[in-house]
Amino acid sequence: MKKTACYTLLLLLVTLFITEPVLAKDTIKERYVAGVVKIIRHHAASIRLLAKSNIKYSNNIPRHAAELKHSFGLLGPMDWHAAKAASMQKEGPHIMALNKKDFEDLANGCVKKIKKLHKVAVAQMETGEQQPVIQALDMVQESCDGCHTLLDDVAPDVWGAAN
């Protein structure tokens, strides 16, 4: 019995030693993606906060919109393989047949909405109208959510409680 336990423990240690670099790699990627998502969430929350008020820093809305666009580019248009894997694993009556073109169209739609947000934010500097900025931000968030809800557990929750 002691011999079996010893071999089992040894096998477990060897397995952990072999798989640790793979796990560490995934952890680093996941941490990086989570960090970028946090940045995106921060810029969106800042835009919403500044658009709902008229304070000294409200003129930073276009800067936050530009940085949201740049931050999105750090990850996107996302990992097609994750989308493909998620769509292939779907079961039940709502099985989704998401192909690469569909996925790229969804991502490109989001990019267009982010660019429009930036244009609206720049125009807001001249007009002072804040509601169009909030509406454009809502459209961005809805566009992102539209794709992320299709991917369930594979895609991170971008907006979280900040939405």
In angstroms, the CA 131 to CA 103 distance is 30
pLDDT the model gives residue 91: 53
CA distance 148 to 163: 14
Instruction: Give me the mean pLDDT over the 116-142 stretch.
Output: 93
In the prediction, which pLDDT does 20 show? 46
Judge if pTM exceeds 0.75.
Answer: no
The count of domains in the chain is 1
Q: 133-161: b or e for each residue (b if 16 or more CB lie within 10 Å)?
A: bbebbebbbebbbebbebbeebbbebbee
Tell me: the pLDDT tens digits for 34-93? 888 889 999 999 999 999 988 899 999 999 999 999 988 887 655 544 554 455 445 544
CATH code of the domain covering residue 52 = 1.20.120
Higher-confidence residue: 13 or 109? Answer: 109
Domain that holds residue 141: 2-162
Q: Which of these, 76, 77, 73, 98, lies nearest to 152 by C-alpha position?
A: 98
Confidence at residue 63, expressed as pLDDT on a 0 to 100 scale: 96
